[in-house]
Amino acid sequence: MRYLPHTDDDISAMLKVVGVGSLEELFSTVPEDCRKKEPLDLPDPLTEWELNQHMASLAATMATMPEYKVFVGAGSYEHFVPSSVLSLLGRSEFVTSYTPYQPEVSQGTLQGIFEYQTLICRLLGMEVANASMYDGASALAEALLMATRISKKKKVAISRLIHPHYREVVKTYLWPKEYEVLELPYLKDGKTDLSALDGMTELAAIAIQSPNFFGCIEDLAALRKKASEREAMSIASFTEALAYGLLKNPGSYGVDIVCGEGQSLGIPQSFGGPSLGIFASKMNYIRSMPGRLVGKTADKDGKRGFVLTLATREQHIRRERATSNICTNQGLCAMGAAIYMASVGKNGLRELAKLNYDKAQYLKRRLEEAAFKIRFVSPTFNEFVVEFPSNFEQTYNRLLDQKIVAGLPLASYYPELTNCYLLGVTETKTKEDMDILVRGIES
Amino acid sequence: MKEKLGTTGLVMNEPLLWERGGNGRCGFSIPRRDVESFPINEDLVGPVPDFPELSEVDVVRHYTRLSQWNYGVDTGMYPLGSCTMKYNPKVNEKYANLPGFAGAHPFLPPSMAQGTLKLMYDLEHFLSEITGMDATTLQPAAGAQGELTGTMLIYAFLRSKGIHRSKFLIPDTAHGTNPASVSLCGFHPVPVKSNEDGILGPEAVAEVMDEDVAGILVTNPNTLGFFEENIREISEIVHGKGGLVYCDGANMNAVMGIVEMGKIGVDVMHLNLHKTFSTPHGGGGPGAGPVCVKKGLEPFLPVPRVVQEEGTYRLSYDYPGSIGRVHSFYGNFGVMIKAYSYILSMGPDNLKKASQLAVLNANYIKESLKAAFNLPYDRPCMHECVFSDKQQNVHKITTLDVAKRLIDCGFHPPTIYFPLVVAGAMMVEPTESESKETLDEFIETCKAIANEAEEDPDLLHEAPKNAKVRRLDEVTAARQPCLMG
Amino acid sequence: MKSVDELNLPEDYRFAEDHEWAKLEGDKVRVGLDDYAQDQLQAIVYVELPQVGDSFKKGEPFGVVESVKVVVDCYMPVGGEIIAVNTALVNSPQLVNESPYDEGWMIDVKPTDVREMDTLYTSESIREAILEKMEEEGQ
């Protein structure tokens, strides 16, 4: 087997040095009653050629571009990724290296992540960003836990317009410590009803998502004001990082913690993972922040270098009092995001974000012209909710047969929104694609 | 004379991204604008983020140069104990990049996602088989998240019976994520000391086990590289008082096809796909931490679960006892593909062989170096062995100095200063990927360094000299953190 | 690291088992970390101190000291109310290394029972205890 270099001669020579007669004898310390007696019941090995065929046949069952047009965002976004980004990210010195605990031989990763942290701060208007969390959902859960640690309060309020899966992850994370999770309802215009906070006391944090799950842009100034009044930390979450290439960033409103999903920044959708948990906050919370941090310093000769720092917050030093248990993060995805941000740059980012906005607006208008109802009036970025007529399911299924996925049905997440569908459009959809979709719905 | 492995080479200095570039440069081909520009409320629009302005050439040179400052498994031996830095097969990368997988939306209707669902279903079953457990979830995105999930399963199990317990037993050799994970579940960690053989003794466990203890979190094989020989008796003690046994499976690479975890009293365990199952570490992640359980804990597993009905796969949420979700979708699917491909490439016999050779390699190093470096526990080890710097201390040389000198000699250092029970620990895990020639080279180099420690200690104190930077000032980095540019 | 003879353990101070020092100054007790503690920790990067007005019993943790790779709790050598903290340590944690008994002081305590001072080690007895510990660890 090509991954196992030992020859029989090698094995004999080595067994001699170790002082045992066979490979089996190496396991003398494993008691008999712990042993696996029969061989593992797994498929016989495939040659690389056979495996190529097998994997190709699995991949061929999947509904992806260019054959299929999937008009869905909802936490996972189809964006164009330049070949240069993929090529650089495939360099084995980035891929096959470990966490940079030996900084002298990891300066590539360390400088790369320092640059990532910086670009994220600039994108979100925040003072410090960590080297990544697992995904937007766990980043939000960790942000809420961080707020409970800092404030010593045990209650949090989160908007019902935060991604349904994120809210589930939050509840799972906060359940064993018996923290209370209150949900804020939404208004007819598609934004969170912050007035629902008026009765609530002893809140550690208030979190909303912007753009929210319905695609609507929320009022982050109001969030900040309400949180201040309630003596709670303000947390702004997001699922579509590209929105901040256009919209006013959360930092400019003075939000305490910003956390969300960075998959849009050059990371393939990959059926939901790996993705990129982005986490940023104000500098004065730094010692309570979870995750790794890369800092700039100098070496013995005074040369600039980078190193993991403030590690005393982390599990390998602080153990049960650590700010989180996170160890392995999404490092390579963070590098990928940095390479993407460096490539699209200042000049490309605004144009790309505006293009997303405009394409979505175009589809909205076409649907309105075809007499379909845009459910919420609030401005959106690249996703919005359409209310279709009550027999739309048939049309939806017919469109699936035509290789078009016309949005995500919302009724299972918001039972009051029957016949409502969440549609997403990015720079990957042409005007023609959208015209075909509308014609398909109309007929 | 044979050439030394580590040598000098010309690498380039490269400034930070924003220290380069020029007005108007862009490295991106933006898709065509075929719709008009629509108005947007100016109050919603922010200033353009201050991103760099670089051409594609600038970006490619930047990251190519940065990559050349890194040492990876593809560069050379990377014997980090407890990390299992084995070879990362290139075919795995190819499959993860197949458009059908890379471009798949997680919200696709199941009829349009049969390939990914089948892969997950099969992988769950492969991992259950390898561990000898009954069911698996692939949702946790890393080992630590797996630990949290597994601990939560125990919490949920006890809660379902109306039981509240506040403590969790953690051996003194435990990885830092262990106490951190149980704390996140509201448990108070209680330490258990290992005995003079470097393993847990039943009496030590019995002493602290009571009806306020939810369970014990063992790592097996443990971080000293030893099989926890008393595991069955320990499980009985814990079970006897109504507790459960969690096994941190980070060291599974030593026992595939050899030990049946499900038989030795383990109720729940996690695996690290980025360790045992060859998926790459990526400079810190992404990994994946699947959790395998016995039947009794199955009802509490995270949802959704992949189910199969007459050859068709779909996602099911029909598990009322489930702890819910730990990931926004189904876990790190792109990592799962690589582990799946690895298992299909190796097959059952080679997986067992890999474990045997990993253990052979570690014992070979242990025997060859025990004269040059202090071996606190002189017993047969599994896939890793632990030395200390005791012999070098008399020359005022520490484990850190040895590690930095290894860098100059072309090897990535082993894990240092862990586990905490050995002062000045050096944990060496070669993995099965290293050939005898490489191991011999490593052994010769370590012996030479041990000599240098006596005869020319400054070579170690001043190391590294051949890397991109010398030793870094971590004190100033912590006192005056500069975390962005 | 210093040998036991090189350690500075002034005679007019008292010492706790965990190497905090305590000095009675009028009706308040000043507390800090002794020379052995700062030498073992090496470069200190951060000190977390309590708020003025907090109260702790003898033996309870009142603060945290961090070096790059280590975190340790600091325990009250005597119980009482915190009446002052050394805010200079926020920006200059290295004062604990450079001047552990003087500029590196940590807190001032209004003691609930000043007789608790008598239970502490003297300069001589703490030096003996350190020597014993070093011999045990084979240094």
pLDDT over 70 at B1, yes or no: no
Whether residues A40 and B436 touch (CB distance < 8 A) is answered with no
Using only C-alpha atoms, chain A has a radius of gyration, in whole angstroms, of 25
Contacts of C66 in chain B (CB under 8 A): 478
CATH of A69-81+347-442 among 1.10.10.60, 3.90.1150.10, 2.60.40.10, 3.10.290.10: 3.90.1150.10
Give dist(CA A117, CA A111) in Å, integer: 10
- The residue-averaged pLDDT of B291-298 equals 98
* In chain B, where the domains are located: 92-344, 352-474
Contacts of A346 in chain B (CB under 8 A): 48-53
In the beta sheet, which residues pair with residue A208?
A: A236
Q: Which residue has the tokens 């005074």?
A: A302
Provide the chain B residues 326-355 that lie in CB contact (below 8 A) with chain C: none
A partners (3+ CB pairs within 8 A) are: B, C
Whether residues C68 and A318 touch (CB distance < 8 A) is answered with no
The CATH number of the structural domain formed by B352-474 is 3.90.1150.10
Tokens of B187: 């448990």
A53 contact C CB<8A = no
Question: Where along chain A do the CATH 3.40.640.10 domains lie?
Answer: 83-340
The residue type of A38 is E
pTM of the predicted protein model: 0.96
Q: What percent of chain B has pLDDT over 90?
A: 97
Integer distance in angstroms from the first to the last C-alpha of chain B? 47
Give dist(CA C1, CA B484) in Å, integer: 34
Domains B92-344 and B352-474 share a fold: no
Task: Check residue B290 and report its DSSP letter.
Answer: -
- Nearest-CB residue to B53 (from A249, A273, A345): A345
Q: What percent of chain B has pLDDT over 70?
A: 100
Provide block-wise average pLDDT over 10 residues at a time, chain A (443 residues): 97 98 96 95 98 98 95 98 97 97 97 98 98 97 97 97 98 96 98 95 97 98 97 98 98 98 98 97 95 97 96 88 90 98 95 98 97 97 97 96 97 96 98 97 90
Count of other CB atoms within 10 angstroms of residue C129: 16
Give the best residue of A150, A297, A314, A317 to mutate against chain C (max C CB count within 10 A).
Answer: A317
Sorted by sequence, the CB contacts under 8 Å of residue B449 that are 6+ apart come out as B402, B405, B406, B409, B460
pLDDT at res. A368 = 97
Helix B436-455 × helix A8-18 angle, to 10°: 40
Question: Where along chain A do the CATH 3.90.1150.10 domains lie?
Answer: 69-81+347-442
pLDDT (tens digit, 9 = 90+) per residue, B59-95? 999 999 999 999 999 999 999 999 999 999 999 999 9
- Nearest-CB residue to C68 (from B390, B423, B478): B478
pLDDT (tens digit, 9 = 90+) per residue, B423-465? 999 999 999 999 999 999 999 999 999 999 999 999 999 999 9
Give dist(CA B330, CA A426) in Å, integer: 23
How far does A197 lie from chain B, in Å, by closest CA? 24
Contacts of C70 in chain A (CB under 8 A): 312, 317
Fold of B92-344: Aspartate Aminotransferase; domain 2 (3.40.640)
Give dist(CA A187, CA A377) in Å, integer: 11
A317 contact C CB<8A = yes
How far does C22 lie from chain A, in Å, by closest CA? 27
Tokens of B291: 């959790």
Of B251, B346, B80, B78, which is closest to residue A3 (Cα–Cα)? B346
CATH of A83-340 among 3.30.2130.10, 3.40.640.10, 1.10.3720.10, 3.90.79.10: 3.40.640.10
Helix A431-442 × helix A392-401 angle, to 10°: 130
Contacts of C71 in chain A (CB under 8 A): 312, 317-318, 321
In the beta sheet, which residues pair with residue B137?
A: B291
ipTM of this predicted structure: 0.97
Whether residues B112 and A347 touch (CB distance < 8 A) is answered with no
Give dist(CA A36, CA B263) in Å, integer: 9
Task: Check residue A418 and report its DSSP letter.
Answer: T
- The residue-averaged pLDDT of B371-395 equals 96
B27's enclosing H/E stretch is none
